[in-house]
């Protein structure tokens, strides 16, 4: 059975159960006017804003927030060369992270 909220596979306790967890059920209740497809998109956003990144890094929701954090970090380090710090969009959580590893410019 595929949960129609998060898209995860689960074994329903009874045949009417269509959501894998109480969290998904609550989510449906909170968005009961949303269409099924919209619901899946809303869920993705919900996860993005509430779940920590699997990489364990601090996540910034917006690129601007990451840039601000990078500026602060550069200032704290008194480093005249700000190139050591880079921001990138995370493929895992779709937020923004800072990294000191060199990488390709995007």
> Which residues make up the interface to Zn ion (CB under 5 A)?
3, 5-6, 8, 20, 24, 53, 55, 90, 92-93
* Least spacing, CB of residue 78 vs Zn ion, in Å: 28
Task: Provide the 3-class DSSP secondary structure of residue 6.
Answer: coil
φ, ψ (nearest 5 deg) of residue 2: -105, 125
Nearest residue to the partner Zn ion, using Cβ: 90
* Least spacing, CB of residue 92 vs Zn ion, in Å: 5
Q: Report yes or no: 77 and 93 within 8 Å, Cβ to Cβ.
A: no
Beta bridge partners of 54: none
* Least spacing, CB of residue 71 vs Zn ion, in Å: 20
């Amino acid at each position: 059975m595929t949960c129609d909220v998060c898209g995860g596979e689960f074994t329903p306790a009874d045949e009417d159960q269509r959501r894998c967890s109480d969290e998904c059920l609550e989510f449906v209740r909170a968005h009961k006017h949303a269409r099924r497809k919209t619901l899946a998109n809303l869920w993705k956003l919900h996860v993005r804003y509430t779940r920590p990144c699997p990489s364990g890094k601090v996540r910034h929701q917006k690129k601007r927030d990451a840039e601000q954090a990078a500026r602060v970090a550069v200032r704290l380090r008194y480093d005249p060369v700000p190139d050591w710090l880079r921001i990138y969009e995370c493929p895992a959580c779709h937020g923004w992270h800072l990294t000191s590893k060199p990488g390709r410019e995007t």
